[in-house]
């Protein structure tokens, strides 16, 4: 399938889970590697620890990516960061990611757990992260608004007041919606082929 993009605009280069395949996924080493490759944004996955910290890990369990066993939500941050996430790396927090990325690369933050979008937005706002920022989730209710996100809507841009478009009034159970767009303050701009991977995204450019 041919990819589509706005005329005259280059495609976005996005590092998946940092630079998975070149360094342990969703670790600071992986983020640094992706930055070294010159990507526009790095995509990472967000879960929550037992003590309420937002951490960077894809799965609901630590089994696949660390030397531990069990659910992410059942462990404290200290317990999670005591694990080896590959080559001596540890599971980073969202705050550590924002500090590393500031001034170096944009971010795509994928919310993997229900109920953490508001906390995520608060952490991003408090960090004063100034780079390009995409929020993404297959949990569409996580992207539906909230007091904290409305209070700093300038960071999320007009996604939260995205204009109605034909075919966008509902989502299927698989998360498929309409042709994907991002909202950058100048109206929708298609950045990829019709795909569930691009539904529910918003791009904020400072």
Q: Which residues are the active-site residues?
A: 16, 58
| Distance from C-alpha of 80 to C-alpha of 61, rounded to nearest angstrom | 11
| Distance from C-alpha of 158 to C-alpha of 162, rounded to nearest angstrom | 6
Contacts of 191 (CB under 8 A, 6+ apart): 5, 6, 11, 12, 180, 181, 182, 198, 203
* DSSP of 42-110: EEEEEEE-TTS-EEE-SSSBSTTTSS--SBGGGS-HHHHHTS--STT--PPBHHHHHHHHTTT-EEEEE
How many Å from the N-terminal Cα to the C-terminal Cα in the chain?
32
Tell me which residue has tokens 């994907």: 180
Answer for the pair 6, 190: CB distance below 8 angstroms, yes or no.
yes
Tell me which residue has tokens 């089994």: 63
* DSSP of 107-127: EEEEE-STT-HHHHHHHHHHH
């Amino acid at each position: 399938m041919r990819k589509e993009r706005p005329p005259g605009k280059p495609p976005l280069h996005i590092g998946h889970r940092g630079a998975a395949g070149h360094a342990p996924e969703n670790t600071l080493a992986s983020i640094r590697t992706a930055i070294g490759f010159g990507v526009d944004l790095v995509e990472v996955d967000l879960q929550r620890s037992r003590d309420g910290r937002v951490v960077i890990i894809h799965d609901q369990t630590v089994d696949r990516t660390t030397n531990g066993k069990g659910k992410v939500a059942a462990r404290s941050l200290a317990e999670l960061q005591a694990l080896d996430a590959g080559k001596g790396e540890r599971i980073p927090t969202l705050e550590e990611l924002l500090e590393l990325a500031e001034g170096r690369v944009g971010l795509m933050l994928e919310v993997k757990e229900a109920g953490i979008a508001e906390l995520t937005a608060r952490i991003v706002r408090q960090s004063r992260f100034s780079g390009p920022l995409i929020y993404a989730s297959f949990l569409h209710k996580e992207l539906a608004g909230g007091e904290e996100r409305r209070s700093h809507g300038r960071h999320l841009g007009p996604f939260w007041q995205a204009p109605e478009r034909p075919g966008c009034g509902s989502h299927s159970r698989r998360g498929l919606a309409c042709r994907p767009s991002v909202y950058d303050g100048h109206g929708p701009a298609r950045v990829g082929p019709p795909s569930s991977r691009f539904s529910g995204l918003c791009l904020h450019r400072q």
